[in-house]
Amino acid sequence: MLEQLRSRWRDQPCDGIRVQWPEVGRDRIRKVITRSGVRRRYAIPCYRYGAREAQCEAAEEAAACILLDACPGIEFQEQPLTLTFSWLGKIHQHVPDLLVASPGRYEFWECKRDTEARNFWIRKRAERLQTLLAPTGVGYRVVTGREVFAGHYLENARLLRRFAAHRVPSSVESEAELQVRQTGTVTIQRIQRALCTGTGIADILALVYRGDLSADLNVRLTEQSLVFLPDKNRRLPWVWQLFAAVSA
């Protein structure tokens, strides 16, 4: 999905914005973690599309990477490119924290503390970029700490990522799906008992991480949590619920 956007913008440049992608063979437009850095930086291991390390400048950005890596159907890249644009009579350059992609949806995320997000210039820059990017179908969002730390999403994301490499036997996968199909929703504990394996809870959480099963991740995952089959008609991965959870 990320490569599709790169190809699309290469063929159809954005009016009013000059885009500079990283050099061939590099994922980030700039290095975040250096030996001489005096500010705290965050290195987040990511597992969804092969082991790699996301380098982040702030706790909010690090939390966003954990959430995105835990969410099936999402691709993302930190420090993805440089946007050069005109604003208030001057030329400005901006490197968004993240480029987030899901089927049919692309957004740049700028992750800020709640107090930073209320800064006049950050809000106005976001409005300018939203206007310039709108014709391309790409969004721009200032993501706040209040959003990435909302509910139990981050806690659950950390839990699910522990089972990213867990291999679920096909027989267990089929039995878990059968248990859910019979009732529509079922507790993790009930599936665990039906599986009669010593790794039941790990198997179920691995299936949730993979997206083969779903759960309400705004509520802390426990053995009493209800799981259900993913809605195939639902277009957006669960990470987009973060913003609805805060505004509700």
Which of these three, 148, 178, 194, is where a domain ends?
Answer: 148
Give the per-residue pLDDT at 160: 97
Overall domain count for the chain: 2
Splitting the chain (248 residues) into consecutive groups of 10 residues, what average pLDDT does each group show? 78 78 80 58 89 90 97 94 90 94 92 95 95 93 95 96 94 90 91 81 94 94 94 79 68
Indicate if 209 and 98 belong to the same structural domain. Answer: no
pLDDT at residue 217 in the model: 94
Q: What pLDDT score was predicted for residue 37?
A: 55
CA distance 154 to 209: 13
CATH code, 174: 1.10.10.10
Residue of 86, 95, 219 whose CA lies nearest to 154: 219
Boundary-marking domain end, from 116, 148, 180: 148
How much is the pLDDT for 131?
A: 95
Please tell me the predicted confidence (pLDDT) of residue 159. 97
Nearest-angstrom CA–CA distance, 188 and 190? 5
Do 23 and 115 reside in the same domain of the chain?
yes
Residue 248: the pLDDT is: 46
Residues 57, 100: Cα–Cα separation, whole Å: 17
For residues 218 and 177, membership in a common domain is answered with: yes
pLDDT given at position 54 = 92
How confident is the model at residue 39, as a pLDDT? 63
Give the model's pLDDT for residue 38.
54
Rounded to 5°, the CA angle 222-223-225 comes to 65
